[in-house]
Amino acid sequence: MKKAYFGGGCFWCVEAVFQRIKGVNKVISGYAGGKIKNPTYREICTGTTGHAEIVEIEYDQSIISYDDLLLVFFNTHDPTTLNQQGNDKGTQYRSIIFYTEELERKLAESFINNEAVRIWDGNITTALEKLETFYPAENYHQDYYNNHQSQGYCTFIIKPKVDKLNERFKSLLK
C-alpha cells in the first residue's frame, strides 16, 4: 500500500470524496505542515500553528494511480482560492499536496502545470511540500460525513462534492 497526502479545505470534504474511490483502503483526517507537535483541532482553528487540515490516503497502486488521485483531488475542490474553500477561510484550509518521495513531487508539479490549469480557469494556488509529520485528527473527525450525513455542513458543503465525484468519476468508484 502507498500513501498520499492532500489538503483541499475542510478535511471532512476530502475524506468523504476519497473514501468512495476503488483502490483506496483507508482515509484518515489529520494535520500536517505546522510548527508544533501533536496539534489539536482547537489549536489548528486559531490559524497560528501553520498546519493544514489534510487527509492521509492509503491506496493500492495496482488499482488506482497517483495521477488518478490527483485528477479527483483537483476536480473536487477549488485550487484557485488562496487559503480558502467556500466559507472556510484560513491557512489551515489551504490547497496543498504533501509528498513523501521525489516522484510524487514531480507528478504533482506536472499535473498542476499541465492538467489543473486546464480544469480551472485561474491561477492554481496549490502548494507542494515535503511531508515531515502527519498527525491524525481527533476520533470525532474521522469518517465524519458517513456518520453525520444529515448535519448541515455535510448536507450543503460535502454532499455536492460527493455528487460531483459520482457524476464525473463513475469508473473510479467502489
Distance from C-alpha of 69 to C-alpha of 45, rounded to nearest angstrom: 27
Is 4:63 a contact under the CB 8 Å cutoff? no
Distance from C-alpha of 26 to C-alpha of 18, rounded to nearest angstrom: 9
Distance from C-alpha of 21 to C-alpha of 14, rounded to nearest angstrom: 12
Distance from C-alpha of 102 to C-alpha of 173, rounded to nearest angstrom: 28
Query: Closest Cα partner for 25 from 59, 69, 56?
Result: 59
Active site includes 154? no
Q: Catalytic residue numbers?
A: 10
